[in-house]
Structure 1
């Protein structure tokens, strides 16, 4: 038993090192003087914190980060509300055609964005929604919906039917059951989905590049792509810019770490 526990902790330690080692190497590279040649995990002789300010100015992150936040602030709540309502309906209300609709959402998980992005551009262009935050928000919401509906439907389907029937016997309507009974016990699942939505929206690259022609209204990852093309040989500057882009996701995960882990594992502990 003790050897098995030691082996388990050893495997987890090795996995943690494998995950953290690339991040540590990027941090160390970002702290070297700009233009320095870097090899391996070499600790800088001079700690150059100015790389972050220089990367922020040269990549125009003031506009790009704001644009990313605006898009994520529109996508996350809209997608969460729609996915929750759809998942609740499909899992508990037995709507007409619910089974084919559920299958369609699952099949939507296999649809790559590369397959539809060109057609999506022309469709949104006809209604004047290209080069606008609204168009990107609606497109990303639709793109994320299959996973969100599947996630929430699976969660609500695991709730005991007796709980729902008792609420209906007491006279609660469907919307009241969702708001007053299911959502309070579904906070880990909703929070986890919200973190995933924010991460996917923040990291979205191809869709933003195609739909947003104004460089100042593109997102931080899209701006980083152009920044890499301009400063491909300046590793410290590129590392600093990369850390600026991934920073919000790391902070968000640390803030919601408990709920995120609980939401991912809640289905595995049900008897």
Structure 2
């Protein structure tokens, strides 16, 4: 009886996972399929197999969206944001986790409010301030905006990793004569590295796909990110949907490859962050 119940449970679990996998992969499969079709075929039937494989859609998308430049811009901006968020976030999370903060409840409320507050509330003041300072079309300035937006989430998550580290390790290192900086760098960072990797992947995904801030503060043709240049492919009256699907695949592919390569570390990091809050 128990064996039969176990088989039924496994069948239900795997059937549910199979349905969820199908729902997740269907949009990607349609994007790949339609990226190889002519625009007229997509309009007629987006689910049909192409009559002829249109590999030139990728060449046209690469040229028209100037991906040779915009992908590099996105990569540089994403890398700067990851470095800034992981550096400032890990240092702040370490202090919040290992020191007694009297105003912790107020600080928690501030971090949660900062995480949930929409960026539209700050967009106009930020733009006018950056314009007065001459920071429009400056990727470094945009990276600092991303850091301010994403840091509260990173701090809250990384704090759980630092809390999970036994206090005895810190005390033993301090007794041996290590400074707090050495304890942080040589003891804590290797232990919480899966959490930092998780934050890097999440922040990288957010930064790579971000549109509103990028299109507001990076307006020069040589400063556009890949997502903004992809948006500009769509015309007001007509659009080449095959080229647009190919461009979307070009943008998505680097993130998918990176996640597949690092998925084990990502899952370990997410599981480790739930050990202690």
Structure 1 and Structure 2 fold alike (TM over 0.5): yes
1:14 aligned residue (19, 35, 54): 19
CA RMSD of aligned residues (A): 1.8
- Unaligned 5+ segments in structure 1 are none
1:212 aligns with 2:242: no
Does residue 80 of the first structure (1) align with residue 86 of the second (2)?
Answer: yes
**Counterparts of 1:68 and 1:103 in 2: how far apart (Å)?**
32
> 1:99: Cα distance to partner?
4.3
Matched, 1:161 2:145: no
Give the secondary-structure state (helix, strand or coil) at the position aligned to 2:150.
helix
**Change in CA separation of 1:167 and 1:98 when aligned onto 2, cut-off 3 Å:** farther
What residue in structure 2 maps to residue 177 of structure 1? 183
Partner deviation per Cα, 1:166-222 (whole Å, 9 max, x = no partner)? 222322221111111111111211101001111111111000111112122111111
Q: Which residue of 1 aligns with 2:243?
A: 237
Quick one: structure 1 residues 37 and 107, their matched pair in 2 at CA, closer, same or farther if it must change by over 3 Å? closer
With structure 2 as the length reference, what TM-score do the two structures score? Answer: 0.91
Asked if 1:93 corresponds to 2:105, the answer is: no
Using the size of structure 1 for normalisation, the TM-score is 0.93
Question: Is 1:249 the counterpart of 2:255 in the alignment?
Answer: yes
Instruction: Please state whether the residue corresponding to 2:116 is helix, strand or coil.
Output: coil
| Alignment: residue pair count | 270
1:42 aligned onto 2:48? yes
Residue 70 of structure 2 contacts residue 229 of structure 2 at CA under 8 Å; is this kept in 1? yes
Q: Is 1:53 the equivalent of 2:56?
A: no
Report deviation, 1:237: 1.1
Deviating beyond 6 angstroms after TM superposition, the runs of 4 or more aligned structure 1 residues are none
CA distance in 2, matches of 1:14, 1:266: 27
Give SS of 1:229's match.
Answer: coil
Tell me the residue number matched to 1:189: 195
